[in-house]
Every structure is written in C-alpha cells, then in structure tokens.
Amino acid sequence: MGTETLIGTFALLQERLHSVACRILKDEMDADDAVQDTFCNLWASRLPDTNDEARHRLFAVLKNVCLNKLKRRRAVSMETLPDSSIEEFKVDESEKIKSELLRSLPPLQRRIFRMSAFDDMEYEDIADALGMTVGAVRMNMSRARKKVREQYNKLMP
C-alpha cells in the first residue's frame, strides 16, 4: 500500500511541489532536481501509509532538500570569494587615490571638503568653525568638488 500511496500522491502534487521548489530556489533546473531528490529520498525511507502522510512528508522533505541546496550554493559562493589579500589591495589602492585627490586641493578647500564629506558637518557648522560665511563655505565646497571630479577623471580614464 505504501508504494502506491507515495506514487499516487506524488503524481498529483508534482506540479505544486515543483512550483514550491522554484519559489525557494529561484532556479527551474534546481527545482526539477529537488523534486526528484524528494521522491527518491521518500522512496528509500519508510513509505507513507496514507495520502495525507505522503503529502505532508513530500512537502517536508522538499523543504529540507531545497534548504540543503541553498546551503551548498552558499558554501560554493563563499569558496569563490576573492582572497583577502586582493581585497586589501583594493582598499589600499582606493585610499591612495582618495589621498591623491585630496592633495590636489588647496589647503582651505581640502579642510572644508574633509569637514563636509568625512566629518559629516553642515555648512553652517563649518562656517562657524572656520570663521567664514556660509556662502564662502558653499563656494569653496563647490570648487573642491569640481577639482576632485576633474582629477578623478584624469586618474580613471
């Protein structure tokens, strides 16, 4: 009775199992594999006695098969992450570029740019700290951004 129950319930629910697997895995081929693996896993274990039991076990095993596939995907993607030395190189390189861009600014513009961009200060606060008008801070910041943009475009063709 268990074999016929499993096969009959599987045949009725196969499309629904596939759509659930597609929603979890977001991949049609992996979903096909997950549904097939689900059937094989149940076939190899204790066969269900009733249609209800078969239905519940099919969805439970499908969920576990899909989760295992997602874990394997994540493990593979973690293995293919770049080496940390490469990441450190990228960070070092970007720091060099950033410092070179800042060095290209006149001292006052560099200071205003740092206060605004890195210290997250408002123009009013910068004006108070430097004893300037807000308009002068805006003008210097505008010139600094323009100069940084020009220098960046020269560095990065």
For 7-39, what is each residue's pLDDT tens digit?
888 888 889 988 988 888 888 888 888 889 888
Q: Which of 45, 79, 113 is the last residue of a domain?
A: 79
DSSP 119: S
Q: Which of 79, 113, 136 is the last residue of a domain?
A: 79
Residue 96 and residue 48 share a domain: no
Residue 100 and residue 67 share a domain: no
- 35: amino acid identity, one letter: V
Q: What is the mean pLDDT of residues 67-86?
A: 66
Q: Which of 45, 60, 79 is the last residue of a domain?
A: 79
Residue 98 and residue 50 share a domain: no
pLDDT at site 1: 53
Q: Which residues of 11-48 are buried (b: 16+ CB within 10 A; e: fewer)?
A: eebeeebbebbbebbeeeebbebbbebbbeebeeeebb
Using an 8 Å Cβ cutoff, are 10 and 58 in contact?
Answer: yes
Count up the domains in the chain and report the number.
2
Residue 134 and residue 111 share a domain: yes
| Overall pTM > 0.75 | no
Dihedral angle computed from the Cα positions of residues 69, 74, 75 and 81, in that order, rounded to the nearest 10 degrees? 150
Using an 8 Å Cβ cutoff, are 66 and 22 in contact?
Answer: no
What distances in angstroms separate CA 78 from CA 20, 51, 54, 108, one per listed residue? 26, 40, 36, 45
Alpha-carbon distance of 38 to 20, in angstroms, equals: 12
**Boundaries of domain holding 111:** 84-155
pLDDT at site 118: 78
- 114: amino acid identity, one letter: R
